[in-house]
Every structure is written in C-alpha cells, then in structure tokens.
Amino acid sequence: MNVTIYTDGAARGNPGPGGYGAVLEYIDPKNQLHVKELSAGYRRTTNNRMELLGVITALEALNRPCNVTLYSDSKYVVDAFNQHWVDGWVRKGWKRGKNEPVKNVDLWKRLLQAKAPHAVKFVWVKGHAGHPQNERCDELATYAADNGPLLEDTGAEL
C-alpha cells in the first residue's frame, strides 16, 4: 500500500501555543483518492516538537505496513533521517556533537517506533511556497494552535 503524507508544525512563540497538521493520501485499486486530515493544538510547546508530532501522528494513523513518501518543510525532521543523524544519536545513546543530549528524545523515540513497520522516504518541501498540501497542513497546524482545545505537551522540557 502506497501512502503519501504531508506534515507541518507551528508554534506561536518558541515556546508557546502550538499545533501540528497532517494530510494522508491514498489511491485505492479503483483509482479513488482517499484523504485523511489530522491536527491538534498544545498549550506550551515548540515548533520542532510540533513538526515531530505531525509526522508521528500521521504514521501512527496507518493500520498496516505501508510504503510512505512523507513531505515536510522541516529540515530538522527530514535531515535527521536523510543525513542519518538519528542513526548516530541512537548509536551514541541519544547524544549529539560535544556529547550534548539530543532534544525531544521522547518524540524521536516515538517516531522511530511509529516508523518501524513502514518503508518511509522523507522529502523536504519548501514551506510557504504555494505547495497545496503543505499549505493545508500549515492551516491545520495554525488553526489548532490558535483555536484549541489545547492539550498539554507532557514531554516538553521547556
């Protein structure tokens, strides 16, 4: 099963109120497009945490192993996989250069678990550049941040 996912995260202040948005698309064997949108807002969080939660929530919504092409405007997320930063962090016990702890480890671990059953290709797309699904994800994320209900980001170390 081939699925295309678009994600975005937003925060009003860093930290501040935030939200994520995700759009999942699947074309069934009858050539019918199925679209699912996901979003949620948080009281106090960061942009990077919302970028991660958009990806996590989308992958967790899949109910069987899939081939996923995931588009994000977050270099933080895309480069972590395409540049193999995550591999190094795991190998070093969640430490990065100069033996500093990786931020958002709770979400990185959750993302790795959500990603495990799938074959995921991460693709960077420029944000706010008119890409329809990326723009929709931004709308979902900012609406969730601005209009709630706002959840607690319990893993955030702010």
pLDDT tens by residue, 1-52: 999 999 999 999 889 999 999 999 999 999 999 999 999 999 999 999 999 9
For residue 158, pLDDT over 80 is answered with no
- Which one of 9, 18, 19, 54 is the catalytic residue? 9
**8 in a known ligand binding site:** yes
- Which one of 18, 19, 73, 118 is the catalytic residue? 73
Q: Catalytic site residue 152?
A: no
Q: Catalytic site residue 9?
A: yes
- Which one of 13, 34, 84, 128 is the catalytic residue? 128
With a pLDDT cut of 90, the percent of the chain lying above it is: 89
Q: Catalytic site residue 79?
A: no
Q: Residue 64: how many CA atoms within 13 Å on its side-chain side?
A: 4
**28 in a known ligand binding site:** no
Q: Catalytic site residue 8?
A: yes
Q: Which CATH superfamily is domain 2-151 in?
A: Ribonuclease H-like superfamily/Ribonuclease H (3.30.420.10)
- Which one of 51, 54, 118, 153 is the catalytic residue? 51
For residue 142, pLDDT over 90 is answered with yes
pLDDT of 77: 98
For residue 157, pLDDT over 80 is answered with no
Q: pLDDT tier at 118 (50, 70, 90 boundaries)?
A: very high
